[in-house]
Structure 1
Amino acid sequence: MHRIGFLLMDGFQVMALATQSVFEYANMVAGEPFYRVENYSVNGGPVTSSMGMAVETRAAGTHAAVDTWVMAGVGNPLEAPVPEAMLAFVRKAAPRARRVASICTGAFVLAEAGLLAGRRATTHWAYARAMQRSHPDIRVEDDRIYIVDGPIWTSAGMTAGLDLALAMVEKDLGADTARSVAHKLVMYQRRSGGQSQHSELLDLSPKSDRIQSALDYARKHLGQPLTVEDLAETVHLSPRQFSRIFTAETGQSPAKAIESLRLEAARLMIEQSRHPLDVVARETGFRDRRHMREAFVRGFGIPPQAVRREART
């Protein structure tokens, strides 16, 4: 049996506990209790979450042989220092475990304990720069869902913990089991670790249903030219009205927004498929491979080939 211990501190985010469902359903799919999940804290007893809900925990020092430690994140890791007792326990327990993981801002605990020094890591995008400033010896990648660097696993914020847990299930029990668990949990897809934390549709966040409809249309028809006239027609506006309203609601011109959507789609195809770059460019609406490369360098600072190499790594 593989034992998974969740380390909790006062103020922990309840969302971290949702990842335990991944291991619960993995047991169901496997047809046997492969995982045993327990909650721990330094002193044991009730630990209060950021929303005031108390969770009973075992004292960390009394643990049996835990294979995987998972450090839950807290609401704001910059408000208070990590208790020294927690850091001392993490430093002592990490070498004895098969792997150590963090969800969201739990990465700050691993960083303070010295476990991330010289490694790649991620955390919630809102705190990634603060982590990099505080710990320059860590290669913080603020645009990743999760990162596995040897025995250390770190995830981005909130729901990214589900993707990290599914990746653990895939590592332990195989891809078929992980897919079945994702299906039972009604997850749209199991996102790869290299996938971006950000969504262009979320970043644009238009205020009206009309502009949202135009963006939805664009996302589904990226392989087409998608001129301002095309988009305006879908929402029954003149091109001039559409451009004015679109820019006012999103802060971007329609052309810039469409390029961002194309970049996001192309990046996902490059990370998750083996399609040649010419095919990716065509499917996502770029004129050709060269045009796509220019957009990648402008938008991401690296060419498509570098994105594919990193995803394979």
Structure 2
Amino acid sequence: MPNAVRRIEILAFPGVQLLDVTGPLQVFASANDLAQGAKPYEPVVVAAETPVMSSAGLALAAGPLEDGAPPHTLVLAGGRGVDAASEDPALLAWIRARAAGAPRVASVCSGAFLLAAAGLLDGRRAVTHWQRCAQFARRFPAVRLDPEPIFVRDGAIWTSAGVTAGIDLALAMVEEDLGRPAALAVARQLVVFLKRPGGQAQFSALLALQSGDGRFDRLHAWIGENLRADLSLTVLAERAAMSGRSFSRRYRQATGRTPARAVEEIRVEGARRLLEQGMPVTAAATRCGFGSEETLRRAFLRLVGTSPSAYRERFAERRA
């Protein structure tokens, strides 16, 4: 559709997460700003009533729920008010009718609850915010929930993870519509330093480790900055000012992991970032403290489920 104007309808509701709306909205608006010639998108926010109050306390002036020609893309935002919205029969009926004629339908964050409540995710693979995955799985067992990725595409249905992942999803849509150079230009304008591919994890190893009681946060930061250093149990225990036995016991109590497993996870995460930037596998292994490329390969297979070379081939940023 090189010359078509694609209408993008972003559904808001009382208690919507502001960034779920404005993140994708700005991606499409920036694509218009950077376009040479006709604007490729007509992005609009729609709601049952206007203005609609976001959970951040900022009211949004929204257009009415259309019932005419379907949009090219229907995007359902998430947020604190999504539970009430997903129990509104009139709104769910509108979503089903609007989605039926749209070439592309998507959700941001907990907006997946709306898609699922409308029956549009049954039998499909989907993702939502990691904090709500357990609740989602209980409520919608017919959906093949994958809690890991930033976003998932299953045919014409796209779902994304928490909040800012909506920006990644919208950038992927711009890439599909207008090509990679256009998507990278938008990412640069928005100062999105890395246009993250959908197969990346929702949250980092360091963030996951910080979900403990916080006593080892400074140690985790030091590990992340010193991946090539000696990160043996003895060294880590000294950094934590504990005996080796005490450190090992308390660390596992706080994080649910052994120190060696945590170091491996943080090193693999560092290698993933370097591979996404196009660094050769051998160089990434050295930079992140793996003794050899084979050691990195084994760790990658355990934690990521693929080889470093396959991951680099799929996710490495390619210059426009």
Fold agreement, TM-score > 0.5: yes
Per-residue deviation, 1:267? 4.5
Verify the 8 A CA contact 1:107 1:123 in the aligned structure 2.
Answer: yes
Q: CA-to-partner distance for each residue in 1:48-87, whole Å, 9 max, x for gaps?
A: 2123332222221345441101001022645674311111
* Structure 2: gaps (5+ residues): 316-320
* Counterparts of 1:181 and 1:79, CA distance in 2: 34
Per-residue deviation, 1:263? 2.5
Q: CA-to-partner distance for each residue in 1:176-211, whole Å, 9 max, x for gaps?
A: 111111111111211000000111222333958x96
In structure 1, the partner of 2:318 is none
In structure 1, the partner of 2:209 is 204
Q: How does 1:276-295 map to 2 (within 5 A)?
A: 281-288=285-292, 291-292=295-296, 295=299
Verify the 8 A CA contact 1:270 1:307 in the aligned structure 2.
Answer: no
In structure 1, the partner of 2:7 is 3
Q: TM-score, normalised by structure 1?
A: 0.81
In structure 2, the partner of 1:261 is 266
SS of structure 2 residue aligned to 1:100: strand
For 2:20, which of 6, 13, 16 is the aligned residue?
Answer: 16
Per-residue deviation, 1:149? 1.1
Task: Provide the identity percentage.
Answer: 38
* Structure 1: gaps (5+ residues): none
Check if 1:38 corresponds to 2:49.
no
Q: How does 1:1-313 map to 2 (within 5 A)?
A: 1-19=5-23, 20-31=25-36, 32-41=38-47, 43-75=48-80, 77-78=82-83, 81-205=86-210, 212=218, 215-227=220-232, 240=243, 244=247, 247=251, 251=255, 254-268=259-273, 281-288=285-292, 291-292=295-296, 295-296=299-300, 299=303, 302=305, 304=307, 308=311
Aligned length: 305
Verify the 8 A CA contact 1:270 1:304 in the aligned structure 2.
Answer: no
Verify the 8 A CA contact 1:271 1:307 in the aligned structure 2.
Answer: no
* Counterparts of 2:312 and 2:221, CA distance in 1: 30
* Counterparts of 1:138 and 1:311, CA distance in 2: 26
* Counterparts of 1:249 and 1:288, CA distance in 2: 31
Amino acid at match of 1:36: E
